[in-house]
Structure 1
Amino acid sequence: MELHQLRILRELADLGSVNAVAKALYVSPSAVSQHLAQLQRSFPAPLTQKDGRRLVLTAEGKLLASAAASVASTLAEVSAKIRTQDQDRDVPIRVAGFHSIGQTIFAPLLAYPEGELPPLRFSDEDVSQQDFPALTSSYDLVLAHRMGHTAPWPEEHIAVIPLAFEPLDIAIHRDHPLAHFEKLTPAQVINQPWVVSRAGYSPADVLETIAALAGSAPRIEHRVNDYATAGALVQVSECLGILPRYTARQTLDESVILRPIHGLNSGRQIDLLVRAEHLHRGPVNDVISAIRSTVQRLVLA
């Protein structure tokens, strides 16, 4: 049994398929399968089993994958004690985030005075909510969002650092007949034309709830995930949109205003997802503190 074999088993637990593990580790699927076969020889109980065309972990495999995460955390803690602070601060911290949070906080983080933070490498990841935890395989820190009524993050695999609750509001042109209302009810808005995200993303989830409360299907004219584009469409049409209150604000023209939805606590929780071993690194914790401060300023602006 070798450390890289344990890592592969852990990645299979988190990513869910041999192909995904191969992609994350930059090896071939056959190499992944070979390492899993070698690891299996050390244990009498099967670690994996076929589920249709997919290879999944057995209960014993999940137990060993959890132990692999603990081993990684222990090694990271020891490594942090051995390395000097200066050596660790030279290692870039990889940060991923959904589009609107990236548009809002990546630049302020990069603008920190030289020397206060380690080198940062940003990536935007436009994924469905359930796919955020798997990104921790490729990034040190992952900015993710989750609707309140959905399943919690898998905290048996990752650490979760809450950042803020962001309401989702109705975006409307200031000259629209409904714009003079301070709050809008589902009955008022359901028959309006809409620009909303694709299914599986927060705005579409909120519109489904609005439709359920109003008892009528919405009239969706445009499916757009990018909030700046959705806001631009609201600006030049009679369409209503659903946009996050804080992260979409700086991309909106002044003619587009946001109104809360009466009787509906619509919003998303913004969290930072991280593998536990990274929390032993001082520079990672410095970046976490900077992200917290930046998000808090965004909420209070």
Structure 2
Amino acid sequence: MDPHHLRLLRELGDRGSVAAVARALHITPSAVSQQLNTLQRSARVPLTERSGRRLVLTAAGRALAAAAVEVMTALDRAERAVGGYLDDPSAPVTVCAFHSAALTWFPALARRHGHVRCADEDVAQADFPSLVGDYDLVVAHRLAQHPPWPTDRVAVVPLIHEPIYVAMAADSPLAAKPRLTAVDVAAQPWISTHEGFPVGGVLTAIAAAAGRPLDIVHRINEFTVVASMVAAGAGLALLPAHTSPPDPRLSLRPLDDLPIGRYIDVLTRPETLHRAAVRTVLDTLRTLSHPTDSP
């Protein structure tokens, strides 16, 4: 039974006529009658009857109208509960992020918001949208040349566009060069991510630009481990410009002939943004990702 139809039945019992109900609810008498007829079709016994020219409730109708009061009360209580949940600035908010973003922003996020629950998720780019079913906010990344996020399934809030640089040991001969090209780096051993992860696809572009395959000797997703391997001379790697911790053992250089970057965005379900607590945490993520914009 439609709660709106139940309300009409209750109003008819309280106000005594279809015309009075129509005036009170600012609809036409015919609309009231049509909706009461719809309610009648879902009942096994008559709910209304004619008393002279007036439509009145039967005994069954009066019983249902009394029950409608309880239904309206419960719905009002439910709406108030939902409203309180949506407006509560301290309600728990779950956030997940890939490793380098988590390392960069999670400590400050947890420090500012005691109600935030953080988790790291190391997944392939195509798997980020599905995480919105498990978390309120999903910090995701994709390469500029990759397909955009499926906006028919998720809401997308852009954070930053982050350059990706070639990382080498600080004492590498390449570090002495002020400018690097794909040809300069193609002959070196490489450390890459696993297949399907955003940064890994860039190496294919470097190989194509240099006209030769790359020698990928290690596959490691965790950038802090990658940084240590590069510092030890195990190979070159691609590291993000903003979310990589500063490391004096490394030198980072852009490729002049092949600019590389990734988009870091927040993915969420559209209805999740109705929550005040979620919007507050999202605002903090925006601030953290643009520290130079802060006063």
| Superposition TM-score, scaled by structure 1 size | 0.68
Give the superposition deviation at 1:146: 1.0
Give the superposition deviation at 1:299: 9.3
Checking the alignment, whether the CA contact within 8 Å between 1:118 and 1:283 is kept in structure 2 is no
Query: Structure 1 residues 257 and 80, CA, compared in 2 at 3 Å: closer, same or farther?
Result: farther
Q: SS where residue 206 of structure 2 aligns? A: helix
The match for 2:191 is 195
The share of aligned pairs that are identical, in percent, is 38
The match for 1:42 is none
The match for 1:204 is 200
Checking the alignment, whether the CA contact within 8 Å between 1:109 and 1:291 is kept in structure 2 is yes
Q: SS where residue 130 of structure 1 aligns? A: helix
The match for 1:234 is 230
Q: SS where residue 123 of structure 1 aligns? A: strand
Query: Structure 1 residues 277 and 210, CA, compared in 2 at 3 Å: closer, same or farther?
Result: same
Where do residues 104-253 of structure 1 align in structure 2 (5 Å cutoff)? 104-112=104-112, 117=113, 119-237=115-233, 239-248=235-244, 250=245, 252-253=246-247
Determine the C-alpha separation between the residues in 1 that align with 2:109 and 2:81: 24
Q: Rg: which structure is higher? A: 2
Question: Could you report, residue by residue, the CA deviation over 1:154-177 in whole angstroms, capped at 9, with x for unpaired residues?
Answer: 111111000000111000112111
Determine the C-alpha separation between the residues in 1 that align with 2:261 and 2:242: 11
Checking the alignment, whether the CA contact within 8 Å between 1:232 and 1:253 is kept in structure 2 is no
Determine the C-alpha separation between the residues in 1 that align with 2:146 and 2:293: 23
Query: Structure 1 residues 236 and 79, CA, compared in 2 at 3 Å: closer, same or farther?
Result: farther
Letter in 2 for 1:202: P
Query: Structure 1 residues 180 and 261, CA, compared in 2 at 3 Å: closer, same or farther?
Result: same
Give the superposition deviation at 1:255: 1.6
Give the superposition deviation at 1:203: 2.5
- Please list every run of at least 4 consecutive aligned residues from structure 1 whose deviation after the TM superposition is greater than 2 angstroms: 78-82, 87-91
The match for 1:92 is 92
Checking the alignment, whether the CA contact within 8 Å between 2:89 and 2:280 is kept in structure 1 is no
Checking the alignment, whether the CA contact within 8 Å between 1:194 and 1:241 is kept in structure 2 is yes
2:279 aligned with 1:297, yes or no?
no
Query: Structure 1 residues 234 and 84, CA, compared in 2 at 3 Å: closer, same or farther?
Result: closer
The match for 1:20 is none
Determine the C-alpha separation between the residues in 2 that align with 1:207 and 1:127: 19
Determine the C-alpha separation between the residues in 2 that align with 1:100 and 1:274: 19
Question: Could you report, residue by residue, the CA deviation over 1:120-152 in whole angstroms, capped at 9, with x for unpaired residues?
Answer: 000100000010000000100000001111111
Determine the C-alpha separation between the residues in 2 that align with 1:292 and 1:267: 19
Question: Could you report, residue by residue, the CA deviation over 1:268-293 in whole angstroms, capped at 9, with x for unpaired residues?
Answer: 10000011111111111110100000
Question: Could you report, residue by residue, the CA deviation over 1:232-287 in whole angstroms, capped at 9, with x for unpaired residues?
Answer: 01111151111111111x1x531201100111121110000011111111111110
Query: Structure 1 residues 88 and 186, CA, compared in 2 at 3 Å: closer, same or farther?
Result: same
Unpaired runs of 5+ in structure 1?
A: 2-77
Where do residues 48-63 of structure 1 align in structure 2 (5 Å cutoff)? none
